Structure 1
């Protein structure tokens, strides 16, 4: 059965510039919310064994390293530092993404108006199917973030959320190999839905 849904065997996660120096300038949403969503997405990639490529920029002069909370979620991932705002124009970052062998890319990062959209538009132009995880991206302003998402959508890039990614990858709660990990992420980061899952576990013994 062919399905357009995401599958653990056909996608990779690309984290772009998840760095504190850039987070300082984010005004599109609450910074802690974006950080929590990004952690949830990174943990989701780990549970479903997705290849993860992380890239950073200007680590020594402004932006700093990848935010520690995200690094703790993916301790074995070493970020590729670069100079170009567009990770697709950096040989090492692009080679790492191509090297995953996956043609569907999940993209999260900062800033939506720059490094996220530049990578997404460039990869899409080269034949990749790109999904930008909008609630795990930060823009300078709500308007700038929204306009960047619209531009990407007009180029055929799909916009999704971290929770939809997790549920799409899991799809069936009887998939026991990822059940515990996926459920733990939802309970920690999924708001009311996570509260409901915890309730069902503790009270109904599901």
Structure 2
């Protein structure tokens, strides 16, 4: 079990846990994994924030709203730190502009909300073309509800050859049962799930380097009560 401590000793332990070497590998040897389970490359990744707006985020039942907000903030910070593009999409309720979670702007800066009238963002030509224009093939999805705004584009992305990852702690479902069904369907279609913590550890690289240390700091901020 990984325990977060509030002092420098705890941060050092977390860094050591992430950077622990595999004793079966010779020093300097790298083991490459091919296929859909290969590691996430931040240079090939794109973050999709979906329907994280007032009137919808409050509907989450599988992930407490405060925890969801912390995870969204951490995901935004990681995207900024590693140069991962962020695309924000929302729906208009009764014609009004969406009010997004402030954690998005606080962590990624100014952004454009790309409105759509479909649950599946891939069915919106503008959003789909924006995704394609990035040239990136790994999509990290965060949103509410998992069963709609997240599941449907994850399925479409998988169908189009993208690697779709649901960032589970940055999503919220309507019920445990329906969210489980959504995730199962995504897995069957070739998609995957990941947590913010795992993502940070996977893309951080050498935790002795400044960027690796910043990634650890992001996790500490997320873990604070």
**What TM-score, normalized by structure 2, do the two folds share?**
0.79
Larger Cα-atom Rg: 2
Q: 3-state DSSP class of the match of 1:24?
A: helix
**Cα RMSD, aligned residues only:** 1.8
Q: Deviations over 1:73-131 (max 9, x none)?
A: 11132221111111101111111111111011111111100111111000110111111
Q: Tell me, which stretches of 5 or more residues in structure 2 are unaligned?
A: 1-29
**Off by >6 Å, runs of 4+ in structure 1:** none
| Structure 2 equivalent of residue 182 of structure 1 | 215
Equivalences, count: 191
Q: Tell me, which stretches of 5 or more residues in structure 1 are unaligned?
A: 193-206
| Structure 2 equivalent of residue 6 of structure 1 | 40
Q: Deviations over 1:125-168 (max 9, x none)?
A: 01111111111111111221122111111111011101111110
Choose which of 65, 68, 77 in structure 2 pairs with 1:34: 68
Q: 3-state DSSP class of the match of 1:138?
A: coil
1:114 paired with 2:148, answer yes
- Relative to its length, the structure with more strand (as a share) is 1
**2:72 and 2:103 in contact (8 A); partners too:** no
Within a 5 Å distance, the mapping from 1:1-206 to structure 2 comes to: 2-3=32-33, 4-59=38-93, 61=95, 64-176=98-210, 178-190=211-223
Q: 3-state DSSP class of the match of 1:13?
A: strand
How far apart are 1:174 and its partner, in Å?
A: 2.5
**What TM-score, normalized by structure 1, do the two folds share?**
0.86
**1:40 and 1:189 in contact (8 A); partners too:** yes
